[in-house]
Amino acid sequence: MLNLKNKITKGISVILALFMLASCTAPSGGGAATQTPQANSTQTEAPAANNSIDINLSENADQKISLQDLGMSEYAATQGVGLIGLDGNPTVSPLDLFLTSAEVETLRAGNFKVGINFHYTGNDWAALQESALRNAFEFLGIEVVALADSENTPEKQVSDLETMMAMKPDAIVSAITDPAMVENTFDKIAQAGIKIVFMENVPNNYTDAKKDNFVAMVTCDSYGNGVAAAEIMAEKLGEEGEIGFLYWERRTPSQVSRQQGFEDTIAKYPNIKVVATEGFEKVDSTGTLTDALLVKQPDLDALFAPWDIPAEYAAASAISAGRNDLIITTVDLGQNCGRIIAEDGPIKGTGAALPYDQGIAEAVCVAYTLLGKELPGQYVAVPTFGVNRENLLEAYELVFHTGAPEEYKNLLGN
């Protein structure tokens, strides 16, 4: 278990309810699936966390099965998050969710079907989510009848969902591409009686007028991730210097929240000055953007990138410009990001989500609704934490549910 209190500050956070900004869902674990950053090494596939669930159901119908029993990490299952959901109420902790052996037997006898729809795949975040969902659904006897990659394209997501809806699943788990453009499609899904569980974000109007259209949204602590990235940066800077930050121009709640966490925390350090902010639309433009930024701001000491793949492009740019001293922090722990941290490259740390654990929570939310069991709340939150070289090996195991690669250990001198 990570000793986070002594290593990286963990934010107690608030998710910002800003769904009036109608733009694509921000990547939660990287950029578009087709983009491969030209960083220190090529993009690698996440190790599959195929942790099959082996639980002996007792004859006691009231036997409780926790999310940790289903494969969620102890950290995710036991740490309070302290978030406020998009409905203004406290989020549900994984500690508050459980199934009984009788409920599992009911699910197994129910011949239930589910579809999984990602905004995009081809990255560590989606691979871990899918693995968790499949493992949990297999244990619960829920058949996965469809898996769709919408390639971060709203039009394709609409088509994918319509195809999936025609298969008449009992539930759909989805990460949306665009809160405005997919709203009507999810209306149709709800009207068809198909239960909906969202990853990270919901469509427009689903926080109020259409809140009854979906069962739950499972999120990470995006604000806390921004806090962690800022604290790591401040420490590496010795609490003084000139910094910049990159932001995605698609202003989704998760992106706004992590940026707000970063800005709020950096503002606590009076000798750290923000001298440049740059927005981007396409992930693969962030290298060129960083090139120009380093020319305009030759004395820049540090840079924040909103998730790991833009950070990798920025790191490659810094190295190419001879700025190996540039400090970069970001959000999400992907394979390449972890490798750059391990080799003491420009990326010095990141705020990490727990996508496998989020997938377990999403599957249990589906189970609740198929059982007709009421959830304690509509928004479920999984904690995040900061990662640097000091706790990288522990962090990797926590995120990927498997041991870190030997390459990481060698780079760290272990």
Give 283-330 pLDDT, tens digit per residue: 889 999 999 999 999 999 999 999 998 999 999 999 999 999 999 999
Q: Is residue 5 exposed (0-12), middle (13-18) or buried (19+ Cβ within 10 Å)?
A: exposed
Q: What is the pLDDT of residue 49?
A: 54
Q: Say yes or no to pLDDT of 88 above 70.
A: yes
Q: What is the pLDDT of residue 132?
A: 97
Structure tokens at 355: 């996508």
pLDDT in tens, 122-172: 889 999 999 999 999 999 999 999 999 999 889 999 999 999 999 999 999
pLDDT in tens, 349-370: 999 999 999 999 999 999 999 9
Q: Which of 16-30, 66-80, 97-111, 330-344 has the lowest mean pLDDT?
A: 16-30
Strands 272-280 and 241-248: parallel
Mean confidence (pLDDT) of the chain? 86
Q: What is the pLDDT of residue 57?
A: 77
Give the chain's end-to-end CA distance (angstroms, integer): 18
Instruction: State the fold for domain 223-352+389-412.
Output: Rossmann fold (3.40.50)
Q: Is residue 409 exposed (0-12), middle (13-18) or buried (19+ Cβ within 10 Å)?
A: middle
Q: Which of 47-51, 94-98, 241-245, 409-413 has the lowest mean pLDDT?
A: 47-51
Max CA pair span of the chain = 69
User: For residues 310 and 331, what is the distance between their CA atoms, to the nearest angstrom?
Assistant: 10
User: Which single residue is written with the structure tokens 């706790």?
Assistant: 391
pLDDT band at 15; cut points 50, 70, 90: very low
User: For residues 221 and 61, what is the distance between their CA atoms, to the nearest angstrom?
Assistant: 34
Q: What is the pLDDT of residue 297?
A: 96
Pick from 75, 29, 74, 26: nearest CA to 335 = 29
Strand ranges inside 50-141, DSSP E: 64-66, 98-100, 113-118
Q: What is the pLDDT of residue 25?
A: 34
Q: Say yes or no to pLDDT of 29 above 60.
A: no
Pick from 353, 338, 51: nearest CA to 223 = 353
Q: What is the pLDDT of residue 60?
A: 78
Pick from 351, 243, 354: nearest CA to 11 = 351
Q: What is the CA radius of gyration of the chain?
A: 21
Task: Say whether 27 sits in a helix, a strand or coil.
Answer: coil
CATH architecture of 48-219+356-383: 3-Layer(aba) Sandwich (3.40)
Sheet bearing 385-387, strands edge to edge? 272-280, 241-248, 302-304, 327-331, 347-352, 385-387
pLDDT band at 34; cut points 50, 70, 90: very low
Between 32 and 398, name the one with better pLDDT. 398
pLDDT band at 17; cut points 50, 70, 90: very low
Structure tokens at 220: 């990470």
Q: Is residue 193 exposed (0-12), middle (13-18) or buried (19+ Cβ within 10 Å)?
A: exposed
pLDDT in tens, 169-199: 999 999 998 888 999 999 999 999 999 999 9
Half-sphere exposure for 102 (CA within 13 Å, toward CB): 5
**Range list for CATH 3.40.50.2300 in the chain:** 48-219+356-383, 223-352+389-412
